[in-house]
Amino acid sequence: MLSIKNLSVKLQEEDKQILKGVDLEVEAGKVHAIMGPNGSGKSTLSYVLSGKAGYEVTDGSATLEGVDLLGMEPEERAAAGLFLAFQYPVEIPGVGNMTFLRTAVNAQRKARGEEEMSAADFLKVIRAKAKDLKIDAEMLKRPVNMGFSGGEKKRNEILQMAMLEPKMCILDETDSGLDVDAMKLVAEGVNALRSEGRGFLVITHYQRLLDHIKPDVVHIMSDGRIVKTGGPELALEVEHNGYADILAEVA
Amino acid sequence: MAEAALSRSSATELTADRKLPDQPWARSARVEALSRLDTLGLPHRRDEYWKFTRPDTLIQMPAPSAAVFHNDEKPLFDDMDRLRIVFVDGVFDENASDDLTLEGVKIERLATAQSDLHWAKDLYGKLEAAGQTPVPRTLAAFNTAYAEDGLLIHVTDKVSKPISLIYTHESDSSDAILHHCIKLDAGTELTVLENGPAAARFNKVMEVDIGDGAAFHHVRAQGRDHERRAVTHMFARLSAESVFKSFTMTVNGKLTRNECVIELTGDDATAHVAGVCVGDGDFHHDDTVFVTHDAVGCESRQVFKKVLRNGAVGVFQGKILVKNGAQKTDGYQISQSLLLDEDSQFLAKPELEIYADDVACSHGSTSGAIDEDALFYLRARGIPQNEATNLLTLAFLAEAVEEVQSDVLKEELTSRLDAWLARHRD
Ligand SMILES: Nc1ncnc2c1ncn2[C@@H]1O[C@H](COP(=O)(O)OP(=O)(O)O)[C@@H](O)[C@H]1O
Ligand SMILES: [Mg+2]
């Protein structure tokens, strides 16, 4: 599904190499986790895949179902089925959450040549999905992420993911800033979306999210590279021994 | 003094071949206005008050021409129940207008009002004259002297539907002057709508005297024609517990200077002035606002937002003056511009001058580009760049549009702004 080969990225403005040849293959129906110390390049990877400006790809490739992602505009990547749940969701004053989501859903449908969703259908669907995530009507009406608590912002990301039904979901530290209850809600939201045709890349610093979203494969990232790959037990190893041991072992 | 003023041509071609309209009740007001014009002179590019906007083309004769711009957009306010009064290039169009009769209000034309006992005698040119200090606004004095037409509206009750002034532009070379006086008796209400490009060059004055507890709502759309020019003045005097709310949307136009001079003279009055303008290319828009608090417990708000691109220029000069004794004043002023490229420019001069000690006043002025993080967030959800930019632009304008009371009008104005944004994509 998502195929990343030798992806090498530097900052556009500075001579600083951040990703130094990332290789990663996420198959449809699978959940891959990326763990790694702060500053290892996890968010950068998610940004580069979704098309944020400011980075320069110096080598390598990234494709979604065989289609080159790196040559596309961010909105084209989204329409192609890529979704990023942001580590820091952006607040947008003046744009209603509901308007935003409906515009997004219909923009993607339009880009794919599908019929747009009617206002009534949209309302029905979003109400049901919002309820599962304990997002109330008032939150839907407010401007995007404005005045949302950390947990509410993360739940709102998952709501967007549920509405957009992407093929490939990247979650960047969706667990950070969440208490146990909120984390359970988020994990349930993610698990409800798990399906044959959908891939997940769950970026996290800690193991605890992976208790709720069980990964098939765990990667350790350090200094811009995937340095170790294993099964769920690798996450537990990090939990018990920290990153230092693993990094020392691969160094 | 009268004859001296009349015989003298006041230093400019603007007044050279004009005669004061012959109307006994307004004569002294016109003569005095001419004398103000003589004494104070017309605006000059070296005047401090015209630092950001060149007045030349507002004064030169003949008026620079402006092509009539045609598009198939439905005129604004079209579906509303309203009393329509049409001026074509500044000339009253009787056939296109409704009868000037409406319950709760008496409407006359300046051109035909003749009685020497006319109520407007106490208003015509009076607020304009008071508004000449501390800074002269002599294009308004010029207007008082020479305006041949306009409306005299006396409001005696709560008026059920808006009076809608429609300014049509048909001649490339029109140079229109209109002067309206509106007097609201105590406890009355009126909404005035204005729309249309008006003329190649338009000089308009509106004087509004708002009685105790009365409410005046004003929504204006200056628009469409790319080459038109306008200088407009709104003078408002507010009595106790009265309300004044004015909103202006400006779309296109080579040069627009909108001055709004508000005097809060009765306790607990409320004055809100708001404006949005969207300009592309050869567009210069100037909002100059002067709010004077001269009573206790009054609230004033100025909210101005501008979207500028392709070299468009926006100007805001706004002042809140709180006089000695105007305690418990609540004054707010914000002017912001969104620059969609690096060629566009926003020039702002926000001012507070406070002589009372128990007041809450705040002001702010910002100018910036589209928030890149917000733009990326929207795009990452599949919203194309143009559409995302428009969404953020409308969101930026929303705080000012929110000042419009009516939801119907709000929606109609927003859809116009949306259409403008869609038309001006690269
Ligand atoms: N836009 C940027 N400007 C400067 N440094 C950046 C930028 N983006 C990322 N970096 C740097 O790249 C490295 C990786 O950051 P990031 O991808 O956020 O790591 P992680 O998400 O694993 O914590 C860090 O050293 C960070 O400071
Ligand atoms: Mg990160």
Residues with CB under 6 A from ligand 1: A 11, 18, 36, 38-44, 54
- Distance between B401 CA and the closest CA of chain A, angstroms: 11
Tokens of A96: 């209603």
Residues 6+ positions from B377 with CB-CB distance below 8 Å: A86, A89, A90, A92, A144
User: Ligand 2 centre and the CA of A38: distance in Å?
Assistant: 7
Query: Is the CB of residue B289 less than 8 Å from the CB of residue B257?
Result: no
pLDDT for position B424: 65
The answer for residues whose C-beta is within 8 angstroms of residue A241's C-beta and 6 or more apart is: none
The sign of the CA dihedral B324, B326, B332, B333 is negative
Q: For the segment B44-102, what is each residue's pLDDT rounded down to a tens digit?
A: 888 999 999 999 999 999 999 999 988 888 889 998 999 999 999 999 999 999 999 99
Dihedral (Cα; A193, A196, A201, A207), 10-degree rounding = 70
Dump pLDDT digits (tens) for A56-82.
Answer: 999 999 999 999 999 999 999 999 999
Q: Is residue B194 helix, strand or coil? A: strand
Which residues of chain A are modeled with pLDDT < 50? Answer: none
Alpha-carbon distance B103 to A94, whole Å?
39
Q: Nearest CB to B382: which of A93, A108, A143?
A: A108
Any idea what the CATH number is for the domain that residue A218 is in?
Answer: 3.40.50.300
Which residues of chain B from 346 to 375 reach within 8 Å of chain A, CB to CB? 371-374
In-domain check, residue A209: yes
Asked, for residue A247, whether it belongs to a domain, the answer is no
Judge whether A66 lies within some domain. yes
CA-to-CA separations, B223 to B71, B97, B318, in angstroms, rounded: 12, 20, 23
pLDDT value of residue A250: 76
CB A203, CB A173: distance < 8 Å: yes
pLDDT at res. B8: 35
Q: Cα(B417)–Cα(B410) distance, rounded to whole angstroms?
A: 11
Nearest ligand to the CA of A88 is: 2
Q: What is the enclosing helix (H) or strand (E) of A61?
A: strand A55-64
Which ligand has the shortest distance to the CA of A40?
1
Q: Which atom of ligand 1 is the closest one to the Cα of A172?
A: 21
Residue B47 backbone class (left: φ over 0; alpha: ψ -120 to 50; beta: rest): beta
d(CA A6, CA A21): 4
Q: Which of residues 103-132 of A touch B (CB under 8 A)?
A: 103-105, 107-108, 111
The β-bridge partners of B158 are B189
Q: Which pLDDT score, from 0 to 100, does residue B393 have?
A: 95
Count structural domains, chain A.
1
pLDDT value of residue B73 = 82
Tokens (6 digits) for A221 = 């990232």
Q: Which of A78, A90, A144 sits opposite B382 (nearest CB)?
A: A78
The residues pairing with B345 across neighbouring beta strands, listed in sequence order, are B313
Domain that holds residue A77: 2-240
3-state secondary structure of B405: coil
- Residue of the CA atom closest to atom 7 of ligand 1: A11
Domain range list for chain B: 2-423
Q: Is residue A131 part of a domain?
A: yes
Give the residues of chain B that fall short of pLDDT 50.
1-11, 425-426
With contacts defined as CB-CB under 8 Å, which chain B residues touch A158?
none
- In Å, how far is A103's CA from the nearest CA of chain B? 7
Provide the whole-model pTM.
Answer: 0.89
